[in-house]
Amino acid sequence: MTTDQKPEVVAVCTKPYIDIACSLGEGPYYSEDTGLFRFVDITNKKLHRFHIDKGPDSLESFDTGDAVGVTYDIEGVSDKYIVAAKYGFALMDAATAKLTYIAHAWDDSKDGEGKLERMRFNDGAIDPAGRFFAGSMTDNALHTPTNEGGLFRLDPDRSVHRVIVPVFIPNGLGWSQDGKTMYFTDSPTQTIWAFDYDVETAEISNKRAWYKVDGEPEGAQPDGFAIDEHGDIWSAVHGGSNVIRLRDSGGKGVKIGEVKFPTRLITCPKFVGTELIVTSAQDGSEAEEHGESRLLNGRVFRVNVGVRGAKTRKWKGTA
């Protein structure tokens, strides 16, 4: 498809699947081993979880103590998750959501006094070798975000590495099917960036703009994303009421489809079979034209898009 063709409207979602008013719904994850789908409310420090076959009636909620941005399963481990939380990387007890930190990201002695407390983790992903990448940003519950964040990597041996510093608001992250390209979203730049990636060493190089959000409402930004079985990226557009399907064409992302939603602040999609389950956030806009959006802000949506997601990876570290 060329850039001057109109993208296909893959689906239109008109009502929520889970009628829960998250402040900042994020981090959707589906565990095929257990059938459990989970997501977080970062601001309210909650983990929500339900069984995919039983639906919303099976929803259970847990206090996480600290803000948690994203969770992943651990290879060979069933009673703990690996998570990116307020202060760094942590193990989460699967039964209680209690956190046990294994590594902090920031060091006040090196990064300046108050940096650890001022930041929190946001989105993340597992690379083809089982390393956990996650981005840290200014904790917007405390301060207005600035360009002081970073993308970090937790290796299976629990060593922590700084990958990209600084960044503004790190979001969607993933890899091409051959593992040779890493895609990374820094939301306020309105851009999904691409890097050459070495799976053996985890080194990145050759940063370039892959897709810039345009043609969306003013101020709309790319947020979290999921990757399908064909290697296409399905990116939430925060402020755009949609998830857009992007395909690589000659080293650039081309918008080939979209899914529309009844609320503006769509945050992150996750595949379950051929369906997307999508989180959203509260809409603080008082504009009259956003009144309808506010009625369903923070809800979780479910919609069939007719394509399956790429296989979900697990962290290959030890718990």
Q: Which residues are catalytic?
A: 223
CA distances from 167 to 126, 134, 188, 222 (A): 19, 12, 10, 14
What 8-state DSSP symbol labels residue 295?
H
**Which of these, 45, 41, 90, lies nearest to 65 by C-alpha position?**
45
What 8-state DSSP symbol labels residue 308?
P
**Which of these, 299, 129, 257, 302, lies nearest to 200 by C-alpha position?**
129
Q: Which tokens is 206 given?
A: 């050759």
**Which of these, 142, 62, 134, lies nearest to 95 by C-alpha position?**
62
Q: How far apart are CA 268 and CA 255, in angstroms?
A: 17
Q: How far apart are CA 159 and CA 216, in angstroms?
A: 40
CA distances from 22 to 130, 153, 230, 267, 275 (A): 30, 28, 31, 11, 21
Q: Which tokens is 5 given?
A: 């063709």
The overall longest dimension of the chain from CA atoms, in Å, is 53
